[in-house]
Amino acid sequence: MTNIIACIDGSALSENITTASVWAAKQIACPLTLLHSLEKEPPRTDEDLSGTIGFGSREHLLDELITLDAQRAKLALEHGKLILENAKAFALKAGAKQIELLQRHGDLVEALSDLEEETRLIVLGRLGANHAMDAHTIGSHIERVARTSHKPILISIGKFEAPKNFMIAYDGREAADNAIAKIAQSPLLLGLPCHLVMAGDDTKERRIKLEEAQNILEEEGFQVTSSIQPGKIYPILTQYRNEHNIELMVMGAYAHSKVRQFFVGSNTSKMIIESNIPLLILR
Amino acid sequence: MIDSIKRDWFSNIKGDSLAGTVVALALIPEAIAFSIIAGVDPKVGLYASFCIAVIISFVGGRPGMISAATGAMALLMVTLVKEHGLEYLLAASLLTGVIQIFAGYLKLGSLMRFVSRSVVTGFVNALAILIFMAQLPELTDVTWHVYAMTAAGLGIIYLFPLLPVIGKALPSPLVCIVVLTAFAMAYGLDIRTVSDMGELPDTLPIFLWPDVPLTLETLMIILPYSIGLALVGLLESMMTATIVDEFTDTTSDKNRECKGQGIANIGSSLFGGMAGCAMIGQSVINVKSGGRGRLSTFIAGFLLLIMVVFLDDLIGQIPMAALVAVMIMVSIGTFSWESIINLKKHPLSTNIVMLATVSIVVATHNLALGVFVGVLLASLFFANKIGRFMVIKSDKDENTNHRTYKVIGQVFFASSDQFNGSFDFKEAIEKVTIDLSDAHFWDITSVSALDKVVIKFRREGAEVEVVGLNEASATVVDKFGVHNNPEEVEKVMGGH
């Protein structure tokens, strides 16, 4: 059985993440797992720069570190439990049926990759607990999750409302074709009007690719509007989104290498940072 | 990858910087002292500590661990330096690095699991004793001034941290060195200083290929030393990595650490330094001072060199008595005092392994030999213990003159004699059944022991039936894949 995994961190966005995951769970009709990962904070010992080691230093130091960790972990465990209980209550109210609560120690990215096999969709919020609400910054985890996980990721941005239409950013590359195939086979967005948008030059080849993609979607019963818009990817998609009141953006992610991204920047990250509607990212 | 770089290097900048500074200050006296143990100029150990710490901070597998010139390695070099000189030591260090890189690629780091806890304790204790013993020459045939200075040094080291506020803000070994040096200079005491022990570095290290003839003869001279150095270096590094793992509740890449140690030793030897490895004491100090990431190791090595190059005149004035005090502290802190209390609690075999490791090392000054003996003893004790988990029950049906032997437990080389002895061949009997359904045969020795038993019964005129041999001998096969599959393990180990 595969689940929807909602990553809850107790930030102001947790309610929106829960709403988004409940919506997805209803669409796909599969169970919902609320996940809270207990991340290790950088360790702090009492400042001791005396640089001495004496009788039994190793044993004492180990004891001291263990005690510190134990205290911190107990608190975090309790705190996490509360967060999850709150989220569960909220999800029940929103109409979710099967809910499982899960706490894992360690990095969120690791927790997700451990759960990968039973994952259908990952739901994340754009800002983590350590960020201010208004900043258009990418949550510290999104990019790492998107790069390591092979499952679709729904990024909730701001207040989540069930989308009434969606657009697919299509570029004709393999990642985008995979995204089309996944959308076509999934019940998640079935029934919503689809806008298939390609940015860049309007050549014959590209038009053929676009039509192929449109056919795949239409065969599965999607109602598709497609278009090619000349210009650079990012402004075109933004403009189209605003003009057509799109409520959900679907895109393939991180097609380029890390090296290129380091110098050129990634379209995916840029889209995530600037977007004001939820994004569905497909690998 | 970028994420792991960020985490390993920059997740704890303040803690790492402070701890790195503390460790750099603590490394200087140690590097000098270990050079003196090895019989080379202090600059060899100082260059080595700089190179190893800086290189390992990039290529090591255990962030937060401190590697530099160490006592364990220095002790192995003594004869080589005495008989052949520094250049051969550099060549041997280079070869040590090559061997360690090979060990890393062969994934020998995982062999550490055969080194039992008591051997590790023995190693650590022996190391502490050797470091202490190495200080004795500085304390024999000297004036009372040296004793007084050493005692004062130890007093400062252990009492200074008890002072409020300032005690925890300044490394007390540094205070000890500064105070004793100032005192000796002010009163013009005629006692030995670091500059009497050899050359100190006055420039940055320069690249130099070891000046030895590239012949087979050279190789034969350095190879035995390099093998010992590689082994001890990896052992101490793996042990220290495990200790730091425990402290920080994180894992480390042991095979990457092996390769890293190799690269660091090659780098060190090419810049005029001796071979080194991870340091238990310094790593403890690092973690204690708040160091967790690679940055702490880097800063320790880098600062060490900066301080030494610019302060070489002052460092030369440090009285040896101050260094001895610091090294006594290191030896006390390295020794596992708990292990003495544990002697009462632990079983005799464990204690013998620990004490044997310590005695062999102290007698031979060779940690590799001690560990070898320790591991050997531990395995023998283990085999002996498991061998005792075997009983043979028998019971006789008087009517048919038929005896059934039921073998329960582990049959292998250590228990096969006992296995043979448990059958009564003198008994005049017509039929014998040997039931093996609760037994495990682990090796060829046990199978041939069974053969002997069967033949012997036949010769006495009995008819022999063996039940459950196939299942019992399933464990003879060296199938290492089995432990991954719970069902297979159950099939082999459970009753059949």
Average pLDDT of the residues of chain A = 82
Q: Do A52 and B158 touch (CB under 8 A)?
A: yes
Minimal Cβ distance to A62: which of B168, B171, B246: B246
Using one digit for the tens of pLDDT, what is the confidence trace for B10-56?
888 888 998 999 999 889 888 998 998 899 999 999 999 999 999 99
Contacts of residue B321, defined as CB under 8 A and 6 or more positions apart, other chains included, come to B138, B145, B146, B149, B150, B153, B180, B191
CA-CA-CA-CA torsion for A83, A130, B14, A39, nearest 10 degrees? Answer: 30
Q: Do B288 and A45 touch (CB under 8 A)?
A: yes
Chain A residues contacting B via beta carbons under 8 Å: 40, 42-59, 61-62, 65, 69, 144, 258, 262
Res. B480 pLDDT band, cuts 50 70 90: very low
Which two three-digit tokens encode residue A69? 């960790």
CA distance B434 to B394: 9
Predicted pLDDT at A129: 47
Q: Does B125 touch chain A (CB under 8 A)?
A: no
Q: Do A50 and B160 touch (CB under 8 A)?
A: yes
CA distance B355 to B350: 9
- Rounded alpha-carbon distances, angstroms, from residue B284 to A23, A61, B241, B343: 52, 8, 11, 24
Predicted pLDDT at B220: 92
Rounded to an integer, the average pLDDT of B203-211 is 84
| pLDDT over threshold 90, residue B66 | yes
Backbone angles phi, psi at A196, to 5 degrees: -105, 115
Q: Does B337 touch chain A (CB under 8 A)?
A: yes
Closest chain B residue to A63, measured at CA = B247
Residues of A in contact with B131 (CB under 8 A): none
Residues of B in contact with A258 (CB under 8 A): 1-2
Q: Is the dihedral of CA B88, B92, B95, B101 positive or negative?
A: negative
CA distance A114 to A105: 11
Closest chain A residue to B281, measured at CA = A53
Predicted pLDDT at B360: 95
Average pLDDT of the residues of chain B = 88
Q: Do B333 and A52 touch (CB under 8 A)?
A: yes
Q: Do A50 and B329 touch (CB under 8 A)?
A: no
Minimal Cβ distance to B284: which of A46, A61, A262: A61
Q: Do A53 and B160 touch (CB under 8 A)?
A: no
Q: Does B248 touch chain A (CB under 8 A)?
A: yes
| pLDDT over threshold 50, residue A180 | yes
The distance of B402 to chain A (nearest Cα, Å) reads 58
Using one digit for the tens of pLDDT, what is the confidence trace for B237-289?
998 998 899 888 888 898 999 999 999 999 999 999 999 999 998 999 999 88
Q: Do A48 and B289 touch (CB under 8 A)?
A: yes
